[in-house]
Structure 1
């Protein structure tokens, strides 16, 4: 019988073990995200794939907040995060520290996620639900990565898009 596992059978690490564990060389930068549920979902995805850090920028809300907690379900305690008023300053600072920063955005020169191969420490910028990544931030990034889409809609929800991109990059960076 293919029974569903109980939580205690999953063998998940504690928050302390998570904090001590090796992280994926991946940083997620949230650029003016309006929805607190989206923020919480990004925390949860980041915990799942041991993302090194999340930067919450501009109008993006920060923990503790009940609406973030609702979807993060505790991941705000495990994943390292930092707030910054300026997404652009975060990108520039990370680049000075050797991180390659990419906007997850549809641009004239964007690279399909399928064709993108990270070359080490990678930071991704996820944009606002309506306006996407700020143009000045796109301009400062090493490039733009686009998630292939085949339907009638022009974009994915930011938390769904983050899940797809983080999963893909986790596979590529973990090899």
Structure 2
């Protein structure tokens, strides 16, 4: 007999949407620029809900809720996580900068800071995830305060956008929770 009994959903102490909206948020903003896959968008909503992220910006060709393919993977997180659509990601990053929010592209570039070495100093902060094929646009990278790279040692050096979001948000959530 195992010491580990799987918990029922009723035992998980989940917040309802109203309580989620009222709760303190992790001071991270997620920016999705030109994400093609609606399933990826839904997954990012679900991950953002899990870490109680402040807000998601959907930019460029990124689809917006309500859409059945987003809903299928978001499992209701489009109702809990605040979001907004912006046509131009570079203009959004400039606006956030003017509001005192540093944005960091999640990308592979020269002089990028490896995620394990990144120490968030100023919050709130924004993290920018780019197109599944082309990544974060150079003009958006140029607007950011810095670039964070997820260390990878395999042959592909490429993670799905939803996986990248999960890795980055977990890491930053952990680092910010330890600072509190």
TM-score range, shorter chain: over 0.9
Hey, what does 1:46 align to over in structure 2? 48
Q: Which runs of 5+ in 1 are unaligned?
A: none
Q: Secondary structure at the match of 1:28?
A: strand
Question: Does residue 144 of structure 1 match 2:119?
Answer: no
Q: Secondary structure at the match of 2:142?
A: helix
Shift of 1:130: 0.3
Q: Which runs of 5+ in 2 are unaligned?
A: none
Alignment partners' CA distance in 2, 1:168 and 1:162: 10
Q: Segments of 4+ in structure 1 off by > 4 A?
A: none
Give a deviation string over 1:59-97, Cα, whole Å, max 9, x none.
Answer: 000000000001000000000000000001111111111
Shift of 1:109: 1.1
Question: Does residue 125 of structure 1 match 2:133?
Answer: no
| 1:63-78 equivalence runs, <5 A | 63-78=65-80
Q: Secondary structure at the match of 1:70?
A: helix
Alignment partners' CA distance in 1, 2:79 and 2:5: 30
Hey, what does 1:83 align to over in structure 2? 85
**Coordinate RMSD, CA, aligned:** 0.7
Alignment partners' CA distance in 2, 1:121 and 1:2: 37
Q: Secondary structure at the match of 1:37?
A: helix
Shift of 1:154: 2.2
- The correspondence for 2:160, drawn from 151, 157, 160, is 157
Alignment partners' CA distance in 1, 2:27 and 2:99: 13
